[in-house]
Structure formats: C-alpha cells, structure tokens
Amino acid sequence: MSTAFKDAVTVAAPTIVGLAAIVGSAWQQSRSRKHDREMREREQRHERQLKDLDYQRGLLDDAAVALQDATTAAAAIVVMLLAGTYDRAKAIQFDDATGALTLVAARLTFRFGTDSELVRITRAATDHMMKAMAELVAVRLGQTTFDIAQAAAKKQSDALSAITDEFYAACGIIVGAQPTP
C-alpha cells in the first residue's frame, strides 16, 4: 500500500465514522420521535375512551334516576286515584318526571342510536307515562271515573316497574356488568 493511500485512509476514516455516527444518531432520533408520537396518540385515544365511558355511565345514571322518579310518580298517581282525590302537587311531580324521562330518552337515542335496547325500553316507559297522564287528565276533565282511571293508571305503573327492571339488565350489558341474583 502506498503512503498516499494510507494518508487518504487516515484522513477519510474519521470523517466517514463521524458521518456514520451523525446518520445513526438522526435515525435514532427519528425512531424516538415516532415512538413518542405513537405513545401520545395511544394515550389520547385511551383518554377519549375513558371520557366516553364516563359520559355513558353518567347518562345511564341519569336514565336510571329518571326511570325511578317516573315509577315513583306513577305509583303516587295510582294512590291518589285510589283515594278518589286530585292532588295538584303530585300531578306536577308526575308531569316533571314524564318530562325528565322524555329528555333522557332523547339523550339515549343520540348516544346509542334508535335501535338500542336502552332506547326502546326508555321510550316504552315514556309511552306508559303518557298513557297514565291521559287517564289523569280524563279524570280531571270529568271524562272518566276515578275507578276506571285508577285501573288504567295501575296497569301503566306496573308496566313501568317491569320496564325499570329491564332497563337495569340492559345497562349491565352495556357496561359489561353482571346483575346480582
């Protein structure tokens, strides 16, 4: 080997090694940035999923409260009709419970879609409330007797109780919980 070649290799070797180190370092930084970006995206997806789950649970809680209030209000109406009296405060409570249930049914529809079992159950509960309300209005207007209205309202109240049980079972399916026996 000639001295000129040895001198060229001696001069070029550190430059080549330096360039290789720079390229290797840039490649490693690129991989590190890509990994960091993927981890941030994964964390953001996870956070969105947790927020979505929190929203679902909150909505299911709201629906359960609305169903419970509706069932309680319907039972109060049955008791009122059994007594053969009209209590304005109970009628207002019943109307408020019906409105809250209707609102929750709409929220469930937006969240879970019209084909959801929860939506079907909540809409059925709203229908029963409306039928019981119709009986109450008929009594108030003198279009029917307390006995007839009481029987019809009792039927709607019993249906609401059954629907509430159905709702809790459907909620357990949505959140992956198993109902306790």
pLDDT at 179 over 50: no
Q: What is the mean pLDDT of residues 117-122?
A: 86
Alpha helix (H) residue ranges in the chain: 3-83, 88-112, 117-140, 146-175
Q: Which residues neighbour 25 within 8 Å (Cβ) at sequence distance 6 or greater?
A: none
- The first and second tokens of residue 89, run together, are 């405060």
What was the pLDDT predicted at 174?
64
What is the residue-averaged pLDDT of the chain? 81
| pTM summary value | 0.67
- Confidence band of 178 (pLDDT split at 50, 70, 90): very low
**Are 91 and 150 in contact, with CB atoms under 8 Å apart?**
no
The rounded distance, in Å, linking the Cα atoms of 153 and 157 is: 6
**CA 74 – CA 131 distance, rounded (Å):** 11
Query: Is residue 62 predicted with pLDDT exceeding 80?
Result: yes
- Which among 153, 106, 109 is positioned nearest to 133, based on CA atoms? 153
